[in-house]
Structure 1
Amino acid sequence: MDNNKRKLTEKELKRKNDFEKISSEMQQKGYKIKNMTINIQQANFLGPLSMLPFITLTFLFYHNVNGFDLGEISLGFVVAAILFIPLAILHELIHGVTWGFFAKNHFHSIEFGFIWSSFSPYCTCSEPLEKWQYLLGTAMPTLVLGGGTAVVSVMTNQLLLFILAEYMILSGGGDFLIILKSMLYRTDKQESVYCDHPYECGFVVFEK
């Protein structure tokens, strides 16, 4: 795990040290480490791009049921811009609540922060989890804020709510890439647990 490319923050260094302790313990138990990180520049481009099919499907669904009011569309984009940071924070909170529910140390294993260079909040879990637990926590914000809100917007004919749902689906692109990377990974190992990478986008698999 190369940290020479950039200077780590104090929090990242602490997480790195804590992760190395966990890694050492897992290796003593016979686990091997598989790094499954994603290049942040690629994630920023491929993430939103990968969500376009989902956005298109929900768009067609809403249009076929309710149609569109052009005046409300303009207002929707303005409201989405205003709510950008609050919705991003809520997205991370849902990650934390889901992972914290499964973690043995619960919310003591969850850390929230803010990356000022990209002006975005983040959530990370320092404890290894079962694969399904980790992936469910990864997907949950998009399922709730994106998919769930889109369904409600169609049922209630609320275009403003639908635009917010589309934005939250688009925002889940990075999470989708992580899930896709996990689904495409093939291994013959019998046991595996997933852990957030301490300072990069993605995760680490401990397997044996």
Structure 2
Amino acid sequence: MDNDKRKLTEKELKRKNDFEKFNSEMQQKGYKMKKIIINTQQAKPLCLLIMLPFMALAFWIYYKVNGFDLDCLSWEFLVVLLMLILCLSILHELIHGITWSIFAKNHFHSIDFGFIWSSFSPYCTCSEPLEKWQYLLGTAMPTLVLGGGAAVVSVMTNQLLLFILAEFMIISGGGDFLIILKSMLYRTDKQESVYCDHPYECGFVVFEK
């Protein structure tokens, strides 16, 4: 989310100030800062493109194993689906936080949750620098568990509701996987680097020297 398109919340302003102090400390240690920011509106088609192969693979496997019995579709099915999507969207962010907190020195004290009302989306951020693989694992984990894991279980149990939820959670991870892709494409000749969540934008910051 672009800073000039919305007013930062009190929590975001605090994270911004804390990050500026941390940035100053890192520069004194000889680190240079590189921001990798994603414009969420412009990136939506790319996020869909990234996740489409995973969704198609899950669809093909479920169809080949179970087929599609649509007799269960009803208004009650739709209501339950929407309620579960809301719950899983929150759980998605919680999994981010749990994974990052395992690696963070201050554990859950370094994790912050919030809600951006302008885009009606929950978020999770880690204020502590992590190694690249730790940051990326925490970024990918919700989609791996709630998307890939749920898709596997849905195929094994022939549960259409669970399969639809899995597909939704896969596409919901598009922004996370775009971050992973950008981090993999980022090249540097520096010997040391740490990764941080951006304090209020969609993206991350690399400190390297």
Bucket of the pairwise TM-score, normalised by the shorter protein: over 0.9
Cα distance, 1:71 vs structure 2: 2.3
Residue equivalent to 1:206: 207
Say which SS state the counterpart of residue 111 (structure 1) adopts.
strand
CA displacement at 1:5 relative to structure 2: 4.8
Report the equivalent of 2:166. 165
The 5 Å alignment of 1:98-113 reads 98-113=99-114
Where structure 1 has 5 or more consecutive residues not aligned to the other structure, the ranges are none
Give the distance between the partners of 1:35 and 1:76, measured in 2 at CA: 43
| RMSD between aligned residues | 1.6
Match of 1:29 in 2: 29
Stretches of 4+ moved more than 4 A in 1? 2-5, 73-78
- Paired residue for 2:67? 67
Q: Is residue 2:179 matched to residue 1:178?
A: yes
Distance, in Å, in 2 between the alignment partners of 1:170 and 1:117 is 20
Asked whether the 8 Å contact 1:91–1:141 carries over to 2, the reply is yes
Report if aligned partners of 2:85, 2:165 keep a CA contact under 8 Å in 1.
Answer: no
TM-score (normalizing by structure 2): 0.93
Whether contact under 8 Å (1:125, 1:196) holds in the other structure is yes
Match for residue 41 of structure 1?
Answer: 41
**Residue of structure 2 in register with 1:91 after alignment:** 92
Q: Deviations over 1:127-175 (max 9, x none)?
A: 0000000000000000000000111111111121111111110110110
Provide Cα deviations, 1:110-143, integer angstroms capped at 9, x if missing partner: 0001111111111000000000000000000000
Aligned-residue identity in percent: 81
Provide structure 2 residue ranges, at least 5 long, that are not aligned to the other structure: none
Q: Identify if the C-alpha distance between structure 1 residues 76 and 36 changes in structure 2 by more than 3 Å, giving closer, same or farther.
A: farther
State the secondary structure of the residue aligned to 1:112. strand
Matches of 1:76 and 1:141, distance apart in 2? 24
- Give the secondary-structure state (helix, strand or coil) at the position aligned to 2:144: helix
**Contact 1:126–1:195, Cα closer than 8 Å, also in 2:** yes
Tell me the matched-pair count.
207
- Within 5 Å, give how 1:98-137 maps onto structure 2: 98-137=99-138
TM-score between both structures, scaled by the size of structure 1: 0.94
